[in-house]
């Protein structure tokens, strides 16, 4: 059923969650499920480990974090909590093109939080005021050309570290998405979009090609549980594409 031949080629189609007519309640449920997926996938922990290592190397005392395509903002809130526990000054801002997602993010963020949100297009120019730029589960939504432009844009905008966390296309990843979406939700939109996302994801060689096309030579790629990839770029330092 899940043979490798199924996923040899990248196949990108519009996800149901991004279609007109999706209600706020449907979107709220979808974001709640995605938050559970991120929690089970250890996404925030994996990103925080990279951020904290970079912070220690660079001597940065305040984290100014931009989350591109932030959805309902669960990642930013989790990063803020980790910074708080370590006594690290933190300011986070999330942008998303969907105003309903921003509405949900604001609803779920405590009034004393140092996290804010606004509607914004990730493919437009990104502010250079942040020393950490993160993006999760967004890259696979883009065409190859858009992905190259996006990587180049955030690389130029960052004055610290860029972290991209996304799916890694594979037959086993497809099988895991099939099982996981059925265990976590009975909503058809989640089950359909979960499989579409894996089919649209880039492979490791394809990510390397994107970096080459974007003229980024200091990207470091790591494979992460479960069938994820983590790309880190430090624009201020030389590095090796691995």
Q: Of 84, 47, 39, which is closest to residue 62 (Cα–Cα)?
A: 84
Q: Distance between CA 24 and CA 30 in Å, rounded?
A: 10
Q: Distance between CA 211 and CA 99 in Å, rounded?
A: 30
Per-residue pLDDT of 132-165, as tens digits, reads 999 999 999 999 999 999 999 999 888 899 999 9
Any idea what DSSP says for residue 124? S
CATH superfamily of 4-233: Vaccinia Virus protein VP39 (3.40.50.150)
pLDDT band at 105 (very low <50, low <70, confident <90, very high): very high
Q: Is the pTM of this model over 0.85?
A: yes
Per-residue pLDDT of 184-201, as tens digits, reads 888 888 888 889 999 999
Any idea what DSSP says for residue 18? G
| Domain ranges within the chain, ordered by starting residue | 4-233
Q: With contact defined as beta carbons under 8 Å apart, do 92 and 75 qualify?
A: no
* pLDDT on residue 240: 33
- CB atoms inside a 10 Å sphere around CB 50: 18
Per-residue pLDDT of 49-85, as tens digits, reads 999 999 999 999 999 999 999 999 999 999 999 999 9
Instruction: Please compute the mean of the pLDDT values over residues 218-238 and round it to a whole number.
Output: 86
What six digits make up the tokens of 207?
A: 């990510």
Please state the length of the chain: 242
């Amino acid at each position: 059923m899940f043979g490798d031949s199924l996923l040899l080629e990248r196949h990108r189609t519009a996800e149901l969650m991004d279609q007109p007519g999706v209600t706020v309640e449907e979107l709220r449920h979808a974001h709640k499920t995605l938050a559970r997926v991120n929690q089970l996938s250890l996404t925030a922990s994996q990103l925080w480990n990279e951020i904290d290592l970079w912070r220690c190397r660079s001597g940065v005392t305040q984290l100014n974090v931009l989350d591109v395509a932030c959805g309902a903002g669960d990642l930013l809130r989790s990063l803020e909590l980790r910074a708080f526990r370590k006594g690290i000054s933190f300011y986070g801002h999330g942008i998303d093109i969907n105003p309903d997602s921003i509405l949900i993010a604001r609803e779920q963020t405590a009034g004393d939080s140092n996290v804010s949100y606004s509607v914004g297009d990730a493919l437009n120019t990104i502010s250079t005021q942040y020393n950490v730029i993160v993006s999760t589960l967004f890259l696979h939504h883009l065409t190859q050309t858009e992905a190259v432009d996006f990587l180049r844009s955030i690389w130029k905008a960052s004055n610290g570290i860029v972290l991209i966390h996304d799916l890694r296309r594979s037959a086993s990843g497809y099988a895991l998405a099939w099982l996981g979406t059925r265990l976590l939700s009975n909503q058809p939109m989640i089950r359909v979009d979960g499989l579409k996302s894996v089919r649209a994801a880039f492979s490791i060689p394809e990510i390397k090609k994107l970096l080459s096309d974007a003229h980024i030579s200091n990207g470091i790629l790591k494979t992460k549980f479960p069938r994820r990839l983590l790309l880190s770029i430090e624009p201020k330092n030389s590095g090796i594409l691995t």
